[in-house]
Amino acid sequence: MAIIITDECINCGACEPECPNNAIYEGGIEWKYSDGTTLMGKIQSKDGKEIIADDDQEPINMDIYYIAPNKCTECIGFHDEPQCAAVCPVDCCVDDPDNIETEQDLMDKKDFLHL
């Protein structure tokens, strides 16, 4: 499953540079599939939509840091544990029960993001 940042976030930003997928954004900032990945041009999202990798996507949270679930792989293929959770001083990076994925799903997502 992807990781989420809870409302306990203190906006310290420690998590953002740790993400190997550039899936963490400051509140209110638009995100892109292409940020920190090899994705370019037209891509097909997990739900089958065609998207331009460089197009801005709506921020998921306006007030605190957030994780784009379509880019979060729980650091599978990079590290032994999610790095955002490892560095968070208030333990607000937790499993997202609304985005349950298997380890293979996460590895497939990693491969998709980093061709």
Q: What pLDDT sits at residue 45?
A: 82
- Reply yes or no on whether the pLDDT at 18 is more than 90: yes
Residue 85 structure tokens: 């959770």
Q: Which two tokens stand for residue 8?
A: 């306990």
CA distance 41 to 60: 23
pTM here?
0.94
Q: Which two tokens stand for residue 23?
A: 């899936």
Task: Express each pLDDT in 21-54 by its tens digit.
Answer: 999 999 999 999 999 999 999 999 878 899 999 9
What digits encode the pLDDT tens for the residues 61-115? 999 999 999 999 999 999 999 999 999 999 999 999 999 999 999 999 999 999 8
